[in-house]
Structure 1
Amino acid sequence: MTGTVLVTGGFGLVGSETVKQLSAAGRSVTVADLDTPANRKKAGALPDGVAVRWADLTNADEVTRLVAEVSPSVIVHLAAVIPPPLYKNPGLARRVNVDATAALVRAAEALPDPPRFVQASSNAVYGSRNPHRVTDVVRADTPPRPFELYSNTKFEAEQFVRESSLEWVVLRLGGVMSPNFSALPLTADGIFMESALPTDGRIHTVDVRDVGVAFAAATTADVAGEILLIAGDDSHKLLQRDVGPALVAALGLPGVLPEGRPGDPNDDDGWFLTDWMDTARAQEALRFQHHSWPAVLAEMSERMGWKRLLLRLVAPAARVFLARRAAYRNAPGTYADLWGAIAAKLGDPCLDRRWAPS
């Protein structure tokens, strides 16, 4: 396929890897993202030949102008607001995740030669899945059950794309990981949310570089009209209690995370929006799984190098610091109260209580 690939959110974690893959394959690429100092800095490190268009996708007029002027053969739509920031600003999340997607679809449909539309979605659309009662993996045809703000916005965005007249592909992503320390969600809100997750919840991770391969391949592969599940090989099928401790140990901070709580086996809605996924069809079509979970951890350790020794010195202090900020510190109960913790700290995550404008 010839022509320009327009990548929205091209300076984000997945966007950056997707742009690298497309550029390496000799594709003409235009990145569309917000004009911020951080993105300006990233623009200076783009591969040669990659163009940049500064655009606010929540402005429908800017979207129409962007799509008309670039006239892409493919749109890879990655721009999104995700948890935990989403819970603090649900109005913005809806404008970015849903309204911007709808505007892009309408602008693409208006072109004389409409592009293929590759939509980034999430396994969050399957909702809260109790591993004590649901033992199968999710598949493309597993009925979606949007449960809260994030899963609902991603599913609504999917619907705009799938009901359009465009040639579309939807990629539902698992838990995206990177061996790059700076890409870890080490904000105060990210650390808090990590501590609130049920420790026995199932999560299927994937290396961000493999996600970039998947999106680049989806621009040309014979997958039009398909929903594909993007996650790593079987080594990435983990429990939540496996993930955080392994990551901080790779950094050189073993044992610093506070002990979390398991989920309530009798509460089907008390789990996070992750589960193990059937990636067979996606792997057959896109050939993207190249980095195992052990390999990701080993590379993270290697990249940290001598800094791991310094971090070991601060591990005791880090352990105390994180324990004081744990979601269930001094809280009564045996089981995790994920959504209650999020509501108290970040904002009400439930569908039926707000879509207040920011």
Structure 2
Amino acid sequence: MTDAVLVTGAFGLVGSSTVKRLAADGRRVVATDLDIPANRKAAEKLPPGVEVQYADLTDPAAVDALVAAVAPAAIIHLAAVIPPFIYMRRELAEKVNVGAMGSLLAAAEKQPTRPRFVLASSIAVYGARNPHTHPDVLTADTPLNPADVYGAHKVAAEALVRASTLDWVILRLGGVLTVDPAAYMKMDNLYFEGVLPVDGRIQTVDVRDVARAFAAATTANAVGETLLIGGDDTHRLVQGDVAPAMAAAMGLVGGLPTGLKGDPARDDDWFNTDWMDTSRAQEVLKYQHHSWPEMLIETANKAGVSRHLLRVVAPLTKAIFTRRAAYHGRIEPYADPWGAIAAKWADPRPDGGKP
């Protein structure tokens, strides 16, 4: 047994930030992810002292060897296939999101001293949230009702963790954001944001605060708890305010089209986001350090001189994004997020639309 923390999915948005947080805290970190060129390049930017062990977590033998070699004190499991790409790669996603979980837990249970297991879950486990019929905020006890395959995978993963013999902590994440402008320049991400009801409630959180939460969860007095991870109350927003505010901070003032509201009469036509009660998570993890206004200011500062150029081209980008938006030319008054996702990628429902 060592004092190492094993972080899976270490080169993703949350993973890379978590590795940096642990290293800054003076922890011994072993980062693991797939051995692909992009991850090799990312590994070059890791803090000094971070060890990298490449592994395919869908291979049980490789997982056994990894866990036995590291003998970690804690495992932070972040590796996952997420929306929207999960909808197109359903079989692979199940192997990663559920199958790899089982292999990791089994390997951890074989250790002479069993590590604490910290799982990255999601508020997608609660399913579609119509604010007109669900005015309450999410809590750890809110009934689970996943509306898509991602939420269903997280429900299954949580069940595996709870059934294990390990000490565990489950963190259900809200809308994770970064102040890095480059992260928002992907058309698929913009399209995905555009299909969601603009009046849907969402609680965002800075990825650096998420990293603090994961680092703290490896030692905090929270074993056996499910904690909701969102930003402070300034992060309680509606979906239609998030992307335009971030775009404006980067200089694209008015550079994004306006989406559609959700149908108040149809609970199923909303997305997997809502406000949440983070009081217990903040009490034990003390992770909330970056407010929403502070994130916008920092994003603007990082954009630098490019803000002036983006402000000039904002009308053009709005015209381009409007023509490419999911609801362009649509005459129906309300958003249809699941229908738009199915049309663009694949059926998102847990059963994939099978009878």
Q: Name the TM-score, length of structure 1 as normaliser.
A: 0.97
What's the CA shift for 1:67?
Answer: 0.8
Corresponding residue number in structure 2 for 1:142: 142
Mean CA deviation greater in 200-209 or 43-52? 43-52
Percent identical pairs in the alignment equals 57
Whether the aligned pair in 1 keeps the contact of 2:2 and 2:72 (CA below 8 Å) is: no
Q: Which residue of 1 aligns with 2:345?
A: 346
Size of the aligned set, in residue pairs, is 354
8 Å CA contact 2:249–2:297 kept in 1: the answer is yes
Q: Report runs of 4+ in structure 1 exceeding 6 Å deviation.
A: none
The answer on 1:127 being equivalent to 2:127 is yes
Cα distance, 1:223–1:2 mapped onto 2, change above 3 Å: farther
Which runs of 5 or more residues in structure 2 are unaligned?
none
Which residue is equivalent to 2:55? 55
What displacement does 1:313 show? Answer: 2.2
In 1, distance between residues paired with 2:160 and 2:320? 44
Letter in 2 for 1:105: L
Aligned to 1:71: 71
Match of 2:304 in 1: 305
Once the two structures are overlaid, the 10-residue window that deviates more, 189-198 or 234-243, is 189-198
Residue equivalent to 2:251? 252
| SS of 1:315 mapped into structure 2 | helix
Offset, 1:2? 6.1
Kept in 1: contact 2:254–2:315 (CA 8 A): no
Cα distance, 1:188 vs structure 2? 2.4
1:279-358 pair list within 5 angstroms: 279-353=278-352
Question: In 2, are the aligned partners of 1:2 and 1:27 still within 8 Å (CA)?
Answer: no
Matches within 5 A, 1:147-166: 147-166=147-166
For 2:315 and 2:238, locate their aligned partners in 1 and report how far apart those are by CA, in whole Å.
25
Q: Matches of 1:171 and 1:296 in 2, distance apart?
A: 22
Q: How does 1:1-358 map to 2 (within 5 A)?
A: 3-184=3-184, 186-353=185-352
**Amino acid of the residue matched to residue 13 of structure 1?**
L
CA separation in 2, counterparts of 1:82 and 1:232? 21
Q: CA deviation at 1:354?
A: 5.7
Q: Which amino acid aligns with 2:3?
A: G
Is the Cα contact below 8 Å between 2:34 and 2:54 reproduced in 1?
yes
- The question of whether the paired residues in 1 share the 8 Å contact of 2:220 and 2:284 is answered with yes
**Letter of the aligned partner of 1:273 in structure 2?**
N
The one-letter code sitting in structure 1 at the alignment partner of 2:83 is P
- TM normalised by structure 2 equals 0.97
- Looking at structure 2, the residues matched to 354 and 245 of structure 1 have their Cα atoms a distance apart, in angstroms, of 33
The residue type paired with residue 272 of structure 1 is F
2:271 touches 2:337 (CA, 8 Å); kept in 1? yes
Which residue identity is paired with 2:235? H
- The question of whether the paired residues in 1 share the 8 Å contact of 2:125 and 2:144 is answered with yes
CA contact (8 A) 1:161 1:168 kept: yes
